[in-house]
A and B are shown apart, each in its own frame.
Chain A
Amino acid sequence: MKKPLLEIQDLAVSVDDKLILNGIDLSIQKGELHVLMGPNGTGKSTLVSAVMGDPRYAIESGSISFDGEDITDESADARARLGVFLSFQAPEEIPGITLENFLRTAAGAIEGKPMRVLAFQKKLKEQMQVLDMDESYASRYLNVGFSGGEKKKAEILQLLMLRPKLAMLDETDSGLDVDAVKTVSKGIRAYHDEGNSILIITHNAKILEELEVDYVHILENGRITRTGGRELADEILQSGFGALQKEAADA
């Protein structure tokens, strides 16, 4: 079997000395789309934040490898430059820097060389069209005064512009209306190909409808308790996590 793009082994993560995740194993191959589900407060966001390198989350044990490199001790910017990306549930507002300037700065940081302005602008315009984003957003300050839906679209725009190897989407569909979910889903499809991988955290079926799901993982009480195919997501969306837990208890 070929080497996975992301390989998490026996990972334990704490925040403020409270253990949130324990014994997490997860492996994602290039080209795969994984879905992470689970009741609120079980550590889904903690997992993707730890993979991204949020310093508030302390890695107590275990390891994270990416593209064959151990990144457990790498800083967030080093991980981003290797190709890790996180679409935040509540992205920060950064006054004084426009979305366009920010994206050019970020793309330059990841590429390791400054972006050519005209080529960059052309690409930005194209990707904004994919997401039905008004061009005026490019010259607005990053996320400042954006509605919830606009912020999520701006995250997907960053995904499309930065083209990471691994995209982790933390409830990018939550709080969006039906049309906006469709747009985000369209953005994900525009990004996804054989060379990259996706990990989606969601509570909704809508976002998965038009996506090719390879694996579904259920995270409960800081552990991955079940892994299956798309049918596992359908089952949960129909009957809830409670039914699943009961089934497990009965077995």
Chain B
Amino acid sequence: MRSFETEKTQVEEFDRSIYDIKDAANASFEVNSGLTPAIVQKISEEKHDPEWMRLFRLKSLQTYNEMPLPSWGPPLDGLDIEDIVTYVRPNTAMRAKWSEVPDDIKNTFERLGIPKAERLSLAGVGAQYDSEVVYHNVRAEVAAKGVVYTDIESALTGPYAEMVRKHFMKLVPPTDHKFAALHGAVWSGGSFVYVPPGVSVEIPLQSYFRLNAPGAGQFEHTLIIVDKGAYLHFIEGCSAPKYNVANLHAGCVELFVGEGARLRYSTIENWSKNMYNLNTKRARVEKDGIMEWVSGSFGSHTSCLYPMTILKGENSRMEFTGITFAGNGQNLDTGAKVVHAAPHTTSHISTKSISRDGGISTFRSAVVVAPEAVGSKSAVACESLMIDDRSRSDTIPVMDIRCDDVDVGHEAKIGRISEQAIFYLMSRGLSEDDARALIVGGFAEPIAKELPLEYAVEMNNLIHLEMKGSIG
């Protein structure tokens, strides 16, 4: 019997050429690999930290040393902090004009389409290269409304220093887990955003994080405060070229959504497949506030990423929409967590995961409903698609409900691509690869339409590339 198998070619890894172009090492300063008080001290000096931050770093390091590795989740054996260079300063100061950014770094961001996106569809851009932000700019009309968008280092010493100090690692304390402690000790770069009461930022801000140095870690900190009745859409993108040594990303995102405010936070993570992505994201939402997460995880060797939302104020809401695509050699452990801490709060978590070519995709969700959260609603739905028999997909939902008057639902589906559906599409002239890509693209479509357009296009391209020559 004739079968599809005969027509297949196997492609080990898809064409990542745009992401994979490496710049020659040209750092102005980097610390030795490993983690000691002297290294942390050195980073603090290099960054001209205020005194409280220097002490904060050293205390975090102590916490790091005292805490065990997580007892669950994907193995982290390939990651040895002794081999990681925690601070690499690029050979430039932060600029507000692309023309002033050194050519090699500028060209990298040009290839990633960042300056173009800035001209066309963004209100402001921050671009980080290794450990420091190399470009930060916000449109004059947005700044005129009182919106602050800057690198976090400037914010630490500028007019918003007190606000930063009041919020920095308060939502994600260094004691949260070992990599939060690591972040507290060696964090560098990231963005600070403040949107004043009632201000609506109509077009998005975007920060892009690029890690070029082999064996390095990126530990950017993102702090966003959206004040009462304000609105912001913030986009975060990340990528790195592939190296044969492990790289580490342990960023931290803290989001404060004020009363009646709304924040949309979109991420497309496309790290290279030697990256350990151990990222922590958390949002706190006040009364009538809305938090919307859109999250796409495509890259990395290993990911642990579970954005958490604390619905602190009455009537606050959150929506999480996520997609994870695990290919060959990837173990992507992603999900979302929500705490209903006030009455009449609503959460809606909807995720899709795709695993192929031996990839492992695990979805974890945790829904906690506190006794006072009467009249709250929570709905969790996750759908997985396994492309072949060698791939894995797991769903691990946890629910901790301490209130009777709540409406909680969970729905999980795991499926495969139907051979009949492939035949149907092929009978209309599509090649087998195109038929598969179309079905996988269709599966991802409800998520894609939530993404900013250029990322939706990128995601579709990634899916098509990943599906070329996939195993049936």
Chain A residues close to B by CB (< 8 Å)? 52-56, 58-59, 73, 75-77, 79-81, 85-86, 88, 91-92, 94-97, 102, 105-106, 109-110, 141, 158, 162
The reply to whether B429 and A58 contact each other, CB–CB distance below 8 Å, is no
The reply to whether B421 and A77 contact each other, CB–CB distance below 8 Å, is no
B388 within 8 A of A: no
The reply to whether A80 and B427 contact each other, CB–CB distance below 8 Å, is yes
The reply to whether A97 and B442 contact each other, CB–CB distance below 8 Å, is yes
The reply to whether A75 and B426 contact each other, CB–CB distance below 8 Å, is yes
B17 within 8 A of A: no
- What residues on B are CB-neighbors of A97 within 8 Å? 438, 441-442, 445
Question: Which of B2-10, B19-27, B83-91, B132-140 is found at the contact surface with chain A?
Answer: B2-10
User: Are A55 and B2 CB-contacts (below 8 A) given A80-B426, A158-B428?
Assistant: yes
The reply to whether A96 and B441 contact each other, CB–CB distance below 8 Å, is yes
B29 within 8 A of A: no
- What residues on A are CB-neighbors of B420 within 8 Å? 92
State how many residues of chain B have any CB contact under 8 Å with chain A.
Answer: 29
- CA of A94 to CA of B434, assembled, Å: 14
- CA of A141 to CA of B439, assembled, Å: 11
- What residues on A are CB-neighbors of B424 within 8 Å? 88, 91-92, 94
Kindly provide the distance from the CB of A113 to the nearest chain B CB, expressed in whole angstroms: 12
19 contacts across the A-B interface (CB closer than 8 A): A52-B427, A54-B427, A55-B1, A55-B419, A56-B419, A58-B1, A73-B2, A75-B432, A77-B426, A77-B427, A86-B427, A92-B420, A96-B446, A105-B434, A109-B428, A109-B431, A110-B428, A110-B429, A162-B429
- What residues on A are CB-neighbors of B14 within 8 Å? none
A95: nearest chain-B partner, CB-CB: B442
Q: Is the interface of A mostly helix, strand, loop or mixed?
A: mixed
Cross-chain contact of B426 among A59, A76, A85, A162 (Cβ < 8 A): A76
B430 within 8 A of A: yes
- CA of A94 to CA of B7, assembled, Å: 23
The reply to whether B421 and A94 contact each other, CB–CB distance below 8 Å, is yes
- What residues on B are CB-neighbors of A102 within 8 Å? 425, 428, 438
- What residues on B are CB-neighbors of A56 within 8 Å? 419, 423
B255 within 8 A of A: no
The reply to whether B438 and A105 contact each other, CB–CB distance below 8 Å, is yes
B461 within 8 A of A: no
The reply to whether A92 and B429 contact each other, CB–CB distance below 8 Å, is no
- CA of A96 to CA of B443, assembled, Å: 6
B444 within 8 A of A: yes
- What residues on B are CB-neighbors of A79 within 8 Å? 427
B442: nearest chain-A partner, CB-CB: A96
Kindly provide the distance from the CB of B436 to the nearest chain A CB, expressed in whole angstroms: 12
- CA of A36 to CA of B435, assembled, Å: 30
- CA of A85 to CA of B441, assembled, Å: 24
Kindly provide the distance from the CB of A175 to the nearest chain B CB, expressed in whole angstroms: 18
- What residues on B are CB-neighbors of A91 within 8 Å? 424
- What residues on B are CB-neighbors of A158 within 8 Å? 428
B154 within 8 A of A: no
Kindly provide the distance from the CB of B471 to the nearest chain A CB, expressed in whole angstroms: 16
